[in-house]
Amino acid sequence: MNPIVGLDVAKGESQVQAFLDQSKPYAKSFSMKHIKEELDHLIF
């Protein structure tokens, strides 16, 4: 297994998608604003 997190960064907001392995998404993608409270969710 090669987990990957993909980020599509745009001005003020990013789309996030996690994958368990190549072409095997883990849950749905989600949108995240560039504020501290939402960026803290990426830290495990």
pLDDT tens, residue order, the chain (44 aa): 889 989 999 998 999 999 999 889 999 999 999 999 988 887 75
Three-class secondary structure of residue 33 per DSSP: strand
How many domains does one find in the chain? 1
Tell me the residue range of the domain where 27 lies. 4-35
What does the buried/exposed string (b/e) look like for 1-22 if buried means 16 or more CB atoms within 10 Å of the residue's CB?
Answer: eeeeeeeeeeeeebebeeeeee
Handedness of CA 38, 18, 43, 7 (dihedral sign): negative
Domain assignment present for 17: yes
Q: Alpha carbon of 29 to those of 8, 18, 33: distances in Å?
A: 10, 7, 14
In a domain, 41, yes or no: no
User: 34: helix, coil or strand?
Assistant: coil
**Residue 27 included in any domain:** yes
Establish if 14 belongs to a structural domain.
Answer: yes
pTM (predicted TM-score): 0.71
